[in-house]
Structure 1
Amino acid sequence: MTLLALGINHKTASVDLREKVAFSPEKLSLALQELKNHPEVSSAVIVSTCNRTEVYCELSQSGPGVIIDWLTKFHQITAEELMPSLYFHEQQAAARHLMRVACGLDSLVLGEPQILGQVKQSYSESKSNGTVVGTLEKLFQKTFTVAKRVRTETDIGGNAVSVAYAACSLARQIFEALSDVTMLLIGAGETIELVARHAAEQGCNRLIVANRTRERALNLAREFGAEVIGLEDIPAHLHRADIVISSTASPLPIVGKGMVETALKQRRNQPMLFVDIAVPRDVESQVGDLNDVYLYSVDDLHSIVEKNREQRKVAAIQAEAIITDESIAFVQWLRSLEAVDSIRDYRQYAEVIKRELLQRSLQAIANGTDPERALVELSNKLTNKLIHAPTKAMQQVAKDGESDKLVVIREALGLDSYND
């Protein structure tokens, strides 16, 4: 059996190709069933996200060709279109690749935690479809353990490396529990959506979304249970916000110093945090001069993100070492399974010889042979029977000049330690 990891990702393929090779939820079950019924595939998991599509499987023979053929036929694309962007790994390299993916070391954002949940979901889908068993199942279970170890023993996920996440991290430093604050999000683009997602994950359940286009804001509101207001309503609601995070395309500031002064009076000077991610700025720089106001610009966040990226790179080196050790250990365990049948056969062979000679000795004693003589004869015959095959093997490899095999046989028989 051969372990194989095969796929494309954001590093190797364009968005256009990734879209063509992606597995929608509707197609995923069908794809898994096709792999399950494939004569050369004994186990399979498909990981399909916006940044990658990968097939992990256990094959009856080496080589990625059968999976490449299946993948191109399933998505109705040509091998010529797929091959330049395709990568594949076998055995230890496949195990190592899966572990790196699950730990966020192969992600667009180094160390991001979402991919582990996506890998777990993919594994769960395969379990539901009955396509992951045996060695591949053991690999995924081992991978989840390794990912937990990496998160515990390194700081790979401990520092914000996106502007949206850095904004929420700042908020958490100033306000201990986001569950106790009201957050006003100005804008409804991709960055604000990410901020809303991070805020929700960190327990913030009082969100207000202010946007010029109400329909876009409503989409966010439905997903995160937020209140929606227009940009013109901000002055009337600003005093409710403990945290204001803004990212619009407005050419002029939306929040001015006077507006914030009024809000502070209504708040009785309770502190406010403003995080202005927009370029040009959404919040007048003079707002930062006010007492009880913390104002951070996108440049401030970028410096935080860059520092954190460097810290994650150090953690990534530690994570890579853990993954290398764990992937080697997994493949060594896998190889050890190959000896199971041989060990069982050898034990059965020795057991048959023992029973046969023991029966003869017991019969001889019953027929009047001296017991001591019978035991000596039993031990001699048992010894000769057991050493016969190894002796012939050593003679043969010596004749053939295969000294390396002779060393292996000596080690297997424990001769070197005996001579010591």
Structure 2
Amino acid sequence: MPILALAARHHQVGLETLERLSARPAAVRRAVLAACPGVRGVVVLATCNRFELYLDVADGGPRAGRTPRGPARVETEGADDDAHAVTEAVAQTLGLLLADVRATLALVSHPVAHLCAVAAGLDSMVLGEREIAGQVRRAAAESRVDGAMTGALERLVSAASRAARQVATETSLGALGRSVVDVALDAAGLTPSGARPAGTRTEADPSMLTRCVLVGTGSYAGAVVAALARRGVRHVDVFSATGRAAEFAEPRGLGVLSTPEELTTAIAAADLVITCSGSGTVLGPEHFAGAPSTPPLAVVDLALRRDVDPAVGDLTGVRLVTLRDLAGLAPGLGAEDLTRARMIVDRIVADLAGADRALAWGRDLAAARRRTLDAHPPHARRRLHAALHPASARAHAAARAGDRRA
């Protein structure tokens, strides 16, 4: 399975760089397919943590090698040439300097193992984050719509999804249920009971439940609403700069803010504001003019491309939390669980490598068997076919196990 991966991750580059790279994933996907003849398929994974491209490359492109029993690795011969072609397409599409893109997007040495670890939440800003597995599936779905998925990429994404499920069920990551949103709500002081954020009014009063304003209606907004519901927050008003608030809010029983004036009024009465639209600056200091200076208003900006003007954080009575703040707040995971999670990923990667070997050897065996059968008269072919079957089955099993002596 010749898979090439290029990646830029939050712990390697700044969030501003990730923002620029992640601006137009669909355009990047189409540009790479159009500009790189050696690329048969591509999945673009663009999140608040990372910008990554997974590419199914033709035999004449980068060489994907394997250890005798280990996961796929990228051999540098040939890979650099196609990587340069891909980064050139990315740079042209996004209007970035080619040198900057090439300095930012790095070849991933073991792409299969990497995506499995990513989907399982082992390579995230928040270790064990819940959203990433769904983001991988959505990235694959978008590639299917564009006709950019191949059998090799489908098997890769399927393996990554298995890794995510097994790590969630066989380690404490699933029980913890952490996510970027959960860490953000913790940072904002929102308790699991849905009481007002710490320091706001009287949490003991059951009538003092949190009033939340949500800006954004994309897939991440759904994750925010789910996280708020888990904490007992029911009073949520939704605003969308693109006019999609009613479409998103009404099926979920949420309030709708139809105008900027309604948004400003709702913020004045809110205890918590969460933004995740990613459409650029939506909230500025003027939106908080009517908000009381005490108790403090928690404002959480979850957009990679900031929704909230940084000047809002300087206002008296406003506590602004951004993605940059969250990177240092996520709790860790025990060594035993980490070891177990990595063992699960290693096993799934080895299984996929075996399946790929079996598939490749199966094609070669089928071709050889056809040639052998064609060389004999029709009346002898049935007996010859039966005689060849046991040897073919043994070779198939040996291929899955990685036994090259078969």
Residue 5 of structure 1: SS of its match in structure 2?
A: strand
Does structure 1 residue 34 correspond to structure 2 residue 31? Answer: yes
Query: Quick one: percent identity of the two aligned structures?
Result: 21
Q: Is the 8 A contact 1:5 1:56 kept in 2?
A: yes
Q: Is the 8 A contact 1:101 1:115 kept in 2?
A: yes
Q: Is the 8 A contact 1:101 1:107 kept in 2?
A: yes
Instruction: Name which one, 1 or 2, has greater alpha-carbon Rg.
Output: 1
Residues 196 and 70 of structure 1: CA distance in aligned 2, closer, same or farther (over 3 Å): closer
Match of 1:202 in 2: 230
Residue 11 of structure 1: SS of its match in structure 2?
A: coil
> Which amino acid counterpart does residue 33 of structure 2 have in structure 1?
K
Residues 59 and 201 of structure 1: CA distance in aligned 2, closer, same or farther (over 3 Å): farther
TM-score with structure 2 length normalisation?
A: 0.57
1:318 to 340, 357, 365: 340
> Which amino acid counterpart does residue 10 of structure 1 have in structure 2?
H
Give how far 1:220 is off. 10
In 2, Cα distance between the equivalents of 1:40 and 1:132? 14
Match of 2:95 in 1: 76
Q: Deviations over 1:48-95 (max 9, x none)?
A: 1233211111111111232122222222322321233322225xx111
In 2, Cα distance between the equivalents of 1:36 and 1:136? 14
1:120 to 113, 137, 142: 137
Residue 192 of structure 2: SS of its match in structure 1?
A: helix
> Which amino acid counterpart does residue 328 of structure 1 have in structure 2?
A
Q: Is the 8 A contact 1:12 1:86 kept in 2?
A: no
| RMSD of aligned alpha carbons | 4.7
Please show how residues 169-184 of structure 1 align to structure 2 within 5 Å.
170-171=192-193, 184=209
Match of 2:166 in 1: 149
Match of 2:7 in 1: 7
Residues 346 and 195 of structure 1: CA distance in aligned 2, closer, same or farther (over 3 Å): closer
TM-score with structure 1 length normalisation?
A: 0.56
Between 1:157-166 and 1:327-336, the stretch displaced more is 157-166
Match of 2:69 in 1: none
Q: Deviations over 1:21-66 (max 9, x none)?
A: 1243xx61x4333333331111111111233211111111111232
Does structure 1 residue 185 correspond to structure 2 residue 204? Answer: no
Residue 129 of structure 2: SS of its match in structure 1?
A: coil
Give how far 1:252 is off. 5.6
Q: Which of structures 1 and 2 has the larger relative contact order (alpha carbons within 8 angstroms, sep 6+)?
A: 2
> Tell me, which stretches of 5 or more residues in structure 2 are unaligned?
63-78, 196-205, 216-220, 257-261, 275-287, 298-315, 319-327, 392-402
Q: Deviations over 1:304-343 (max 9, x none)?
A: x98x934465433321111112112212322332212321
Q: Is the 8 A contact 2:3 2:54 kept in 1?
A: yes
Q: Is the 8 A contact 1:7 1:87 kept in 2?
A: yes
Does structure 1 residue 66 correspond to structure 2 residue 85? Answer: yes
Does structure 1 residue 50 correspond to structure 2 residue 75? Answer: no
Residues 187 and 170 of structure 1: CA distance in aligned 2, closer, same or farther (over 3 Å): closer
Please show how residues 287-306 of structure 1 align to structure 2 within 5 Å.
none
In 1, Cα distance between the equivalents of 2:161 and 2:343? 16
> Which amino acid counterpart does residue 5 of structure 1 have in structure 2?
A
Q: Deviations over 1:165-205 (max 9, x none)?
A: 586663289xxxxxxx8763368699xx9996354442846
> Tell me, which stretches of 5 or more residues in structure 1 are unaligned?
174-180, 235-243, 256-279, 283-304, 360-377, 387-407, 413-420
> Which amino acid counterpart does residue 334 of structure 1 have in structure 2?
D
Q: Is the 8 A contact 2:159 2:349 kept in 1?
A: no
In 1, Cα distance between the equivalents of 2:156 and 2:150? 10
Give how far 1:145 is off. 2.1
Residues 171 and 349 of structure 1: CA distance in aligned 2, closer, same or farther (over 3 Å): same
In 2, Cα distance between the equivalents of 1:13 and 1:208? 34
> Which amino acid counterpart does residue 206 of structure 1 have in structure 2?
R
> Which amino acid counterpart does residue 309 of structure 1 have in structure 2?
P
Q: Is the 8 A contact 2:194 2:232 kept in 1?
A: no
Residue 54 of structure 2: SS of its match in structure 1?
A: strand
> Which amino acid counterpart does residue 155 of structure 1 have in structure 2?
S
In 1, Cα distance between the equivalents of 2:226 and 2:367? 57
Q: Is the 8 A contact 1:164 1:195 kept in 2?
A: no
Q: Deviations over 1:113-157 (max 9, x none)?
A: 111222111111111111102111111122212211111111114
Number of aligned residues: 291
> Which amino acid counterpart does residue 15 of structure 2 have in structure 1?
V
Residue 331 of structure 2: SS of its match in structure 1?
A: helix
Residue 115 of structure 1: SS of its match in structure 2?
A: helix
Match of 1:293 in 2: none
Residues 184 and 245 of structure 1: CA distance in aligned 2, closer, same or farther (over 3 Å): farther
Q: Deviations over 1:274-321 (max 9, x none)?
A: xxxxxx999xxxxxxxxxxxxxxxxxxxxxx98x93446543332111
Residue 56 of structure 2: SS of its match in structure 1?
A: strand
Between 1:108-117 and 1:221-230, the stretch displaced more is 221-230
Q: Deviations over 1:254-274 (max 9, x none)?
A: 79xxxxxxxxxxxxxxxxxxx
Residues 73 and 208 of structure 1: CA distance in aligned 2, closer, same or farther (over 3 Å): closer
Q: Is the 8 A contact 2:209 2:233 kept in 1?
A: no
Please show how residues 79-158 of structure 1 align to structure 2 within 5 Å.
79-90=98-109, 93-158=110-175
Match of 1:164 in 2: 185
In 2, Cα distance between the equivalents of 1:51 and 1:316? 20
Please show how residues 401-416 of structure 1 align to structure 2 within 5 Å.
411-412=405-406
Please show how residues 263-274 of structure 1 align to structure 2 within 5 Å.
none
Please show how residues 273-352 of structure 1 align to structure 2 within 5 Å.
309-311=331-333, 314-352=336-374
Residues 119 and 338 of structure 1: CA distance in aligned 2, closer, same or farther (over 3 Å): same
Residues 146 and 183 of structure 1: CA distance in aligned 2, closer, same or farther (over 3 Å): farther
